[in-house]
Amino acid sequence: MGRNKFSASEIAAISKLLRLKNSGTRYQQKNIRHQLRVKYEFNISDFNEQGKAFGEEDLQAAINRKAIVILDDATIADMKEKRQRDRERDQAANQYQK
């Protein structure tokens, strides 16, 4: 599961990528979905019905139903830092257990 809290600028970038995805070739769609997952921790499957295409309208619908929350840039930056610290802590714990 990815994030459900994004900044307004991230939502604009995600919206643009979704627009490109829906008009791209199968290979381009795969690359865009990868960008969404890696750069924004945005998993389409967290917000849509399985087997149905997910586009800008669906993104706005998810925002309207509060499945996606828009926060300010500073809060998002703090959240990302905390997630990174948590990942590093978990990684260190896994290394210690081995």
Considering the domain boundaries, does residue 30 fall inside one?
A: yes
Strand partners, 70: 6
List the domain range (segments joined by +) for residue 44.
Answer: 5-73
Residue 35 contacts residue 17 (beta carbons within 8 Å): yes
Q: What is the pLDDT of residues 1-58, one digit of tens each?
A: 789 999 999 999 999 999 999 999 999 999 999 999 999 999 999 998 888 889 999 9
Q: What is the pLDDT of residues 58-79, one digit of tens each?
A: 999 999 999 999 999 999 999 9
Considering the domain boundaries, does residue 20 fall inside one?
A: yes
**Cα dihedral 25, 52, 12, 79 sign:** negative
Per the listing, tokens 């499945």 go with 67
Considering the domain boundaries, does residue 10 fall inside one?
A: yes
**Per the structure, how many domains does the chain have?**
1
Considering the domain boundaries, does residue 62 fall inside one?
A: yes
